[in-house]
Structure 1
Amino acid sequence: MTLPLLFLVILGLTLVGFYLGRSRALAMAGGKARNLHSLPGFYGWYVVVWCGLPALLLFGFWIALEDSVIRNLVVAELPQAMRELPADRLGLIISDIRNMAYGNIPLSKADDVTRPIVDHYISLRQLGTSSLWVVAISICMAGILWGRSRLSPEFRARNRVESIANILLIVSSTIAVMTTVGIVLSLIFEALRFFAAVSPLEFLFGLTWSPQMAIRADQVGSSGAFGAVPLFTGTLLIAAIAMLVAVPVGLMAAVYMAEYAGPRLRAWAKPALEVLAGIPTVVYGFFAALTVAPAVRLAGEGIGLEVASQSALAAGLVMGIMIIPFVSSLSDDVINAVPQSLRDGSYALGSTQSETVKRVILPAALPGIAASVILAFSRALGETMIVVMAAGLAANLTANPLAAVSTVTVHIATLLVGDQEFDSPKTLAAFALGLVLFAVTLSLNIVALRIVKKYREQYD
């Protein structure tokens, strides 16, 4: 009896509850749906609410709390000598016990003291899973019986179901908002700890980035340099190159598919173009490192230019290819949403198709096009793998696209790799970089909203 199987059983019981509720409602109405207050499907959904929702909530809570509950029970049964160990040492022991219980570490490596604890951990997991099976199935069956007993031809099933759906939507929206607030607060609090050790002026305007902090004060380089201007410059340079590739190509592709391509060509061209958005970024990174970067270097050397083996130009070109669908797909949808009456009016005045596109359709679609460009730019700012593999890790302050540079996201990932203690400026610098990146992205979204509002008033 596994948890995935239990999840499938709960879904199966909810499906059974839906058909039982629907069939009972029709039976009470003599097989005539017009005798019911609501459509028959709403009666089925009402039973589903009582059958599936409580069981799925219980299932979710157990998935979230299982590890901590079993851990606390296991710790309470440990010998006194183990419980008195330091927290980090005790955590390692519990982690090893958990890995043995889940089969990640062979049980043969357990000693005479650890083996009974592992067996106890396994028994607790089995007991918890069995109990969850019994309780969840009981809830489902009781929900089916209770929901069906409430049904009658005059029962307002639609009102009840829609009220519950409204509550779920409100809860989901609240979770999304609170998650955003939590992310922002975590960035702010950790960034404030960083700025308590490093001056904000040095961070925002310093020209040298070398966050390597020494362990001992007498080591060479014990005071790191946290000037993030090279990272900001590299981020903007690569993003600008990517936008120079993505915006013209994506916009022209959108105009062609929306205004010039036939239905058959559009039917396969648009999905084929959108495949680019589904390719993993690490694949783009391989393509940039193994194909584009050497080609850029050879082309530059052929005309007498000095090109680094890892360059901003190579990363920007591949990143631009990656974000073409963000511009083309959204712009295509926006262009197709322009009212046909605007096109007809332009043609009636004697405009050609190209004049109509330039002077009527594109201005009318400008809010959506601006939103797609902003989305693509935000995507370019947040890319990591392509930059790591094609532009390198060197935080160089340069505007030369043929040189190796690095970006904010790359160094956020670099600073948080491995086991880190969040009490040094080196690690906390990642949160300061993340806060700056968040502020920049938020500013871009505000600008996009202002553009949309301005032109929407003009063309609505």
Structure 2
Amino acid sequence: MSTTTIITLVIVLAAVGYVAGRILAVKRAGGNAQTLHSRPVYYGSYAFLWTALPSLILMAIWLAISPIVIHEAVLESLPERIQEESAATQSLSMGMISSIAEGLTRLTPTELTRVSAGFTALRPLLAEKGVPLGSNGEDFMIAAAKNLNQWSAESHLWMTVAVIALAVLGFAYALFAIRPRMRARNSVERVVLVSLIGASDIAILTTIGIVLSMLSETIQFFSAVPPHEFFFGTVWDPRFAANVGTTSSEGQFGLIPLLAGTIYIAFVAMLFAVPIGLFAATYLSEYAGPKFRSIAKPLLEVLAGIPTIVYGFFALVTVGPFLRDLSAELNHLVTGHYSNFIEAQSVLTAGLVMGIMLIPFVSSLSDDIITAVPKSMHDGSLGLGATRSETMRRVVLPAALPGIVGALLLTASRAIGETMIVVLAAGVAARLSINPFEPMTTVTVKIVNQLTGDLEFNSPQTLVAFALGITLFVITLGLNIYALYIVRKYREQYE
């Protein structure tokens, strides 16, 4: 019986419990629902929850724990020489065993008799079934794969029995417990409250989990690389080759070039997006008619839904070559020579394209904040004889300024975390430069580079990605907290 089938059976039984709970509550009240403590729907919900919730929770726990237990049991059944190997070697062996186990489930009983011949005979047999295996398998893996399949089947069988039995017990208990004066509504609302609290805690727990996972690897990185060399270094060269003139075999992990590129590209993007976004928000909120606003605002927000990789292709194919050719034409007009001073991949290219992506963030947030300014202030200014322009410049915008600043800070944190546009539009060169016509790179790009490929998390060139990640996390978190503080202060002023 598949997992989906088990869930379906539990839900069907819970639905029957819902209907039976409603009917039984009214029946035990002598047919007069007015004498019930709660409405009949709460008694039905009470039976539904007691039938479905405990059994589904048990099933979720079982599915989470049983693979770990079976994995450890299979690992303990392997020869001692395998158990003494490194974790990476054991992981490769377990991966091969899992592939063999999957292949064994596709064999017919006749084909299974050929398995005893060993791995050499099994490999072409599984290849015919669409399960290709490497050449580094051994005969003991077949027995381990059989154990894996057997224990998994037994675990699934016991899970099925336990889940269905618990659902039946919950069903029987709920119907037995239903009484006219039972506080069914309180019980149901308590479960709903706990569910809401759990849902709201997911974001917090996820954030804590992300920080702890990065923090542990970051601490390991700083045990190999001094923090001052990372935070104040001006050279990014994580390769493990001896530097010229030194005997050190370690790379250099200077954060400054990456941080400078991140801030520089984000600054250029904000320099482009903020004026256009604010002007668009001002026009839509004050000057545009209702019909035009209902069309223009959704169209403008479509830009926010375009994948960033598409913006990256746009920068690589269109904007970058256009700026390069334009600089060559301008140089020809001035000097008479065709030589470009703007490279196709540059800070300017990435900043312009990222700015286009950020326009809807600035305009939408600013528009919402401007329209949230009390209408009485706007109408009072017009009533005193001020023009629309004067009202926007001297009344509405100053009142909305704290909220707009908060919106811009949130937009800046979005720009700092961008990756794909920078990879395609600004390149991967880690350098310190004030020339916006040259390529630079950002922290996020190097995080991707350092974690690309088959790497083990035990060397500084891999662990540095976590140090970069937690640094970027702290920067964006600070911007978001400050932005939320400003927005909250703004809201308290007018609500």
Query: TM-score with structure 2 length normalisation?
Result: 0.81
CA deviation profile, 1:295-341 (whole Å, cap 9, x unmatched): 22222222224122311222222222223333233333333433333
Indicate if the aligned counterparts of 1:107 and 1:115 stay in contact, CA closer than 8 A. no
* Gap change, CA 1:383 and 1:158, over 3 Å in 2: same
The match for 2:169 is 142
Indicate if the aligned counterparts of 2:33 and 2:39 stay in contact, CA closer than 8 A. yes
Indicate if the aligned counterparts of 2:74 and 2:148 stay in contact, CA closer than 8 A. yes
Indicate if the aligned counterparts of 2:43 and 2:185 stay in contact, CA closer than 8 A. yes
Does 1:250 pair with 2:285? no
- Cα separation, 1, equivalents of 2:321 and 2:155: 57
The match for 1:96 is 96
The match for 1:74 is 74
1:406 is displaced (CA, Å) by 0.5
The match for 1:421 is 456
RMSD across aligned C-alpha pairs, in angstroms? 3.3
Indicate if the aligned counterparts of 1:297 and 1:308 stay in contact, CA closer than 8 A. yes
The match for 1:366 is 401
1:398 is displaced (CA, Å) by 1.1
1:152 corresponds, among 179, 184, 188, to 179
Does 1:206 pair with 2:241? no
- Cα separation, 1, equivalents of 2:352 and 2:220: 37
Indicate if the aligned counterparts of 1:242 and 1:319 stay in contact, CA closer than 8 A. yes
Tell which deviates more after alignment, 390-399 or 133-142: 133-142
State the identity as a percent: 48
* Gap change, CA 1:138 and 1:276, over 3 Å in 2: farther
- Cα separation, 1, equivalents of 2:459 and 2:140: 37
1:212 is displaced (CA, Å) by 0.9
Tell which deviates more after alignment, 114-123 or 376-385: 114-123
- Cα separation, 2, equivalents of 1:9 and 1:358: 64
* Gap change, CA 1:349 and 1:386, over 3 Å in 2: same
- Counting only pairs closer than 5 Å after superposition, residues 115-264 of structure 1 correspond to structure 2 as 115-214=142-241, 222-264=249-291
Does 1:334 pair with 2:361? no
- Counting only pairs closer than 5 Å after superposition, residues 312-323 of structure 1 correspond to structure 2 as 312-323=347-358
Indicate if the aligned counterparts of 2:78 and 2:140 stay in contact, CA closer than 8 A. no
The match for 1:308 is 343
Query: TM-score with structure 1 length normalisation?
Result: 0.87
Does 1:54 pair with 2:54? yes
Secondary structure of the corresponding residue to residue 74 of structure 2: helix
The match for 1:402 is 437
Q: Which amino acid aligns with 2:53?
A: L
CA deviation profile, 1:338-380 (whole Å, cap 9, x unmatched): 3333333333323333433333333333343333222211111
The match for 2:110 is none
Secondary structure of the corresponding residue to residue 429 of structure 2: coil
* Gap change, CA 1:8 and 1:384, over 3 Å in 2: farther
* Gap change, CA 1:76 and 1:222, over 3 Å in 2: closer
* Gap change, CA 1:367 and 1:73, over 3 Å in 2: same
- Structure 1 alignment gaps of length 5 or more: none
1:290 corresponds, among 302, 307, 317, to 317
2:307 corresponds, among 270, 280, 303, to 280
Q: Which amino acid aligns with 2:320?
A: A
1:81 is displaced (CA, Å) by 5.1
1:241 is displaced (CA, Å) by 1.7
* Gap change, CA 1:149 and 1:399, over 3 Å in 2: farther
Indicate if the aligned counterparts of 1:233 and 1:399 stay in contact, CA closer than 8 A. no
* Gap change, CA 1:227 and 1:259, over 3 Å in 2: same
Q: Which amino acid aligns with 1:328?
A: S
CA deviation profile, 1:175-199 (whole Å, cap 9, x unmatched): 5434433433443443344334333
1:230 is displaced (CA, Å) by 1.0
1:113 is displaced (CA, Å) by 3.7
- Cα separation, 1, equivalents of 2:30 and 2:358: 58
The match for 1:385 is 420
Tell which deviates more after alignment, 223-232 or 275-284: 275-284
Aligned residues: 460
- Structure 2 alignment gaps of length 5 or more: 104-125, 332-339
1:404 is displaced (CA, Å) by 0.7
* Gap change, CA 1:203 and 1:34, over 3 Å in 2: same
- Cα separation, 1, equivalents of 2:358 and 2:459: 36
Secondary structure of the corresponding residue to residue 61 of structure 1: helix
* Gap change, CA 1:326 and 1:28, over 3 Å in 2: farther
- Cα separation, 2, equivalents of 1:342 and 1:374: 26
The match for 1:43 is 43
- Cα separation, 1, equivalents of 2:27 and 2:366: 51
